[in-house]
Amino acid sequence: MELNFKHQLGLLCVTLLLPVLCTSQDSFTCSRATYYGSPDCYGNPRGACGFGEYGKTVNDGNVAGVSWLWKNGSGCGACYQVRCKIPQFCDDYGAYVVVTDYGEGDRTDFIMSPRAYSRLGRNADASAELFKYGVVDVEYRRVPCRYGGNNLLVKVNEHSRNPHYLAILILYVGGTYDVTAVELWQEDCQEWRRMRRAFGTVFDAENPPRGDIKLRFQLSGNAEQYWVQSKNVISSDWEAGAVYDSEIQLG
């Protein structure tokens, strides 16, 4: 009976210590990852973030859907290093992925595109073995997004209709920042007006201001939160599909 009690106590200690070990070493968190089917191994252009084709090809298609890291859509565009934990198959660095979708699996934090999932392996043969597992134990940490000098871009969503309805999505958010809010300048009231987060990274407003539109973004990250204003405006003749360079460089 005494041995059984000690054994049970030991198991309890291991159970309690495991999450601590997973989160303390190099700031990695333990979880699980799987992959989704894709005819071309790239991302899903209809992902819940609202990125469209950008969500398919950004980061060369090394993308993922998340659940707990979704953060009501503000987790869209975040970048993570994900590495699996089977020594004979798993690459030491693992995969660098961008969040472009929402997805829930069997106790998984990441549902990865096939391209991203294959990068977990040491080589092609190892990756093939990981695909056979279907779901693997991983550890992950957030890392800065690097977009090769691209500024933060604002794209007018396809459902926008000038002048009655404006919806925008935010692209190329560098560093480790989340866009938690967007406001537009209401000239007649001389005040900033909050846009609604419609879904994912899409923000919208009914009856937006006439004329050129000024925007500012609330950024959260690195234990701080602040507003930054776009150096360019959305021109008064805006239309669906138009892209505007904010001239904001994050990284």
Residue 39: is the preceding peptide bond cis (ω within 30°)? no
Token pair listed for 239: 């239309």
**Centroid of chain to Cα 117:** 16
CA distance 110 to 92: 18
List all residues 6 or more positions away from 188 whose beta carbon is below 8 Å from its beta carbon. 209
The pLDDT of residue 223: 85
Residue 137 in any domain: the answer is: yes
The pLDDT of residue 22: 64
Same domain, 26 and 133: yes
pTM, 2 dp: 0.89
The domain of 197 spans: 153-245
Give the CATH number, domain containing residue 216: 2.60.40.760
Residue 148 in any domain: the answer is: no
The pLDDT of residue 1: 44
CA distance 29 to 45: 28
Per-residue pLDDT 10s for the chain (251 aa) are 444 544 444 444 444 444 444 654 569 999 999 999 998 999 999 999 999 999 999 999 999 999 999 999 999 999 999 999 999 999 999 999 999 999 998 899 999 999 999 999 999 999 999 999 999 999 999 999 999 989 999 999 999 999 999 999 999 999 999 999 999 999 999 999 999 999 999 999 999 999 999 999 999 998 899 999 999 999 999 999 999 999 999 98
Residue 97 in any domain: the answer is: yes
Same domain, 90 and 56: yes
Alpha helix locations (H) across 157-232? Answer: none
Q: For residues 179 and 173, is the Cβ–Cβ distance under 8 A?
A: yes
Same domain, 137 and 204: no
Same domain, 47 and 135: yes
Residue 216 in any domain: the answer is: yes
Same domain, 123 and 52: yes
Domain count, the chain: 2
Q: What is the dihedral of CA 54, 181, 110, 120, to 10 degrees?
A: 60
Distances 212 to 16, 143, 182, 236 between C-alpha atoms, Å: 56, 35, 16, 4
